[in-house]
Structure 1
Amino acid sequence: MSVFSIPDAVPSRVLAVYRYLLRARKQRESRETLERVLMPQGLADLSSKKGEPEEAEAEPPVQDSAAAQPSAPEGEEKGGRGMIKRVLAACESMRLLEKDGDGVVLSPDLPKAARDPKHAEDLAPLTLCDLFLKPENPINHDLARTIAWYLDFDPQRPPADWNFLDREHREQVRSLHMNNLARYGQLREWGCYLGFTWTFSSKKSTQFLIPDPTKHLRLRLPQLFPKPRASRAFTEVLADLAGLCGIFEEGVFRRENEQAGRSKPLDGRTLTRASAHAWLRLQEEGVVEMSHASDADAVQLPDDDQVVLYSQVRWRGEARG
């Protein structure tokens, strides 16, 4: 089950499971105990009595191999413990945890740092993002394609809300299987948590979802610059970034959107406004330094009404954060 299709599987609940197992004995727990800890009986009873509000769908959900699992299949608990069961199912699908007899265990395939309670929480956005993007497990690639598509929008003129997207970009939205408000909610929740977007509320109470991968890009810098303070060709950095995270330009999910006609093809040396603003913001903050040599291959960064060129980038070596 993709988190895109399970409204219950929001970042805070997935993190609750992750944090518990990080500190559990042998990083294992029985399902019954885990469900009881995460949803005490009194709270479960209250949730079941009140019922969980469900988002209205714009149309019947699209059914395919990577999307459109109903939030509570027929015959399954809808509230209380049922919610936790669906969250655990999503965690298993993304391979954050594995079945172990009558219990679950934190996946032994996770990187060592991702299983270390001292470091795992700081790395959690990268850990979960990497699980979503794994080629051998496409269950969450629908969300990755949708985030990559959303980064095409101008961060200074973002879509107003779900209704705007559904009205003005219906064909693209449907092809991404984002066919209801609940799935847009998952784009908003996970896009923000993973560091690709953030939200802004206007005076008219409109909540804009801003395409801005600055936070995620900052987290990737230690992977892009194994040797801090050394300059690298910008084109090489971007190629490595695309390999690490296929959501960015030239990455696998960006290319899939281009091939499907959802995103405008780029020439490999031009960034979207969202990515350009992220690099420029990191430069303004003193996190990176960018420069251009006239005889070097340049990357084009659209900035307001002009395009600026850079061929070299240097990370100053700050810690993640």
Structure 2
Amino acid sequence: MSVLKTALATPSRMRGIFRYLLEAPKQRENKEKLTRLLSPHELSEGRNKSAEHPMFDAALRESIKCRLLIADNDDIAINFELPEASRHPKMGDKLLPDTLVQLLFASDNEDEEDLGRLIAWYLAQDIYDAPGTWQEVEQRVAEQGVAESLDLKISSNSLFGQVEDWMCYLGFAWGHASDSNKKLVVAEPTAYLRRNLKDLFQGEAKAKLSIRDFLDRLAKKCPLFETGKFREQVEEKIGGRLPNHLSTSTAFALFRLQDDKCIQLIKESDADLFIFPSGDKEAGFSHIIWTGVEL
């Protein structure tokens, strides 16, 4: 079962276990002690005694299944195979969203393909007319006829809430309250892209990449974007994006990053242009420069 369908395995709960282990001696702890510390028995009063720690157990189980953590006899430990920076006590928590993107979507993790396809579907929608509630998502999925073929069934409002929590935590969306005080989610990946610009440009400030090379690197790092595995599965079914055209969500995020002086989009003569849609307008660019600014 994926984190999408394990409602109790929220990002905050998985993060809580990981943060504790970051600071623990040798980044490991006895499972029984870990359970007592993070899910005290006093908070279990009134629960079914056969499942006294359902929230903790679900978060721990999914953390182990995705290889963020490992079970070692009676201990729980941070996976020593993670990159050193991801295990660093002062950096691990900051890097956790990107660590989870790698573990969930870029590591051939079949258990999380439903969440991968669903986020990719969100990012493939027109950001200027994107569904923001469970009812709107179900209607759009039905209109596009992809519920069965892509396993994009959102069967309950609680399941939609799980999608929303994961998209926002990983940096692919943000939520806000509408005028009617109804919470809406906007699938817009600026936060993810901003965090990963340095890595995508291999740490070279002022480096210049063609848009095609940038997208290739991005799709390899996170297959939810254009030409990535999950995005291609979705776009094969829903269509809508022409060759050398970006999705509105990716274009919107890159325009925001340019406004923040993090990148510069340029158009060079005799170079392949990619079309960036923006509302009812569009612009063409061939290359992207990372300015070195990190916000």
Q: TM-score range with shorter-chain normalisation?
A: over 0.9
> Does the alignment pair 1:118 with 2:95?
no
> Does the alignment pair 1:172 with 2:146?
yes
Matches within 5 A, 1:43-82: 43-45=43-45, 48=47, 77=51, 80-82=52-54
Q: Structure 1's 216 and 178: CA in aligned 2 closer, same or farther, altered over 3 A?
A: same
1:211 is matched with 187
- 1: CA distance, partners of 2:126 / 2:269: 28
Structure 2 residue ranges without an equivalent (≥5):
none
Q: Offset of 1:148 from its aligned partner?
A: 0.5
Give the letter aligned to residue 242 of structure 1: A
Alpha-carbon displacement from aligned partner over 1:39-74 (angstroms, at most 9, x marks no partner): 11112226x28xxxxxxxxxxxxxxxxxxxxxxxxx
Find the partner of 1:235 among 189, 212, 222: 212
Report if the CA contact (8 A) 1:235-1:298 is conserved. no
SS at match of 1:151: helix
SS at match of 2:58: helix
1:250 is matched with 227
- 1: CA distance, partners of 2:55 / 2:159: 16
Normalising by structure 1, we get a TM-score of: 0.86
- 1: CA distance, partners of 2:183 / 2:57: 30
Normalising by structure 2, we get a TM-score of: 0.93
Find the partner of 1:150 among 113, 116, 122: 122
Give the letter aligned to residue 139 of structure 1: D
> Does the alignment pair 1:40 with 2:29?
no
- What is the percentage of aligned positions where both structures have the same residue? 33
Q: Structure 1's 268 and 112: CA in aligned 2 closer, same or farther, altered over 3 A?
A: farther
**Structure 1 vs Structure 2 CA RMSD:** 1.8
Report if the CA contact (8 A) 1:4-1:186 is conserved. yes
- 1: CA distance, partners of 2:35 / 2:115: 26
Q: Offset of 1:268 from its aligned partner?
A: 4.5
1:23 is matched with 23
Q: Offset of 1:256 from its aligned partner?
A: 1.3
Find the partner of 1:102 among 69, 74, 78: 74
- 1: CA distance, partners of 2:94 / 2:117: 25
Q: Offset of 1:225 from its aligned partner?
A: 0.8
- 1: CA distance, partners of 2:140 / 2:242: 26
- 2: CA distance, partners of 1:148 / 1:172: 13
1:283 is matched with 258
Alpha-carbon displacement from aligned partner over 1:151-193 (angstroms, at most 9, x marks no partner): 1223232214101222342343452243322221111000000
Report if the CA contact (8 A) 1:234-1:313 is conserved. yes
Give the letter aligned to residue 261 of structure 2: G
Give the letter aligned to residue 200 of structure 1: H
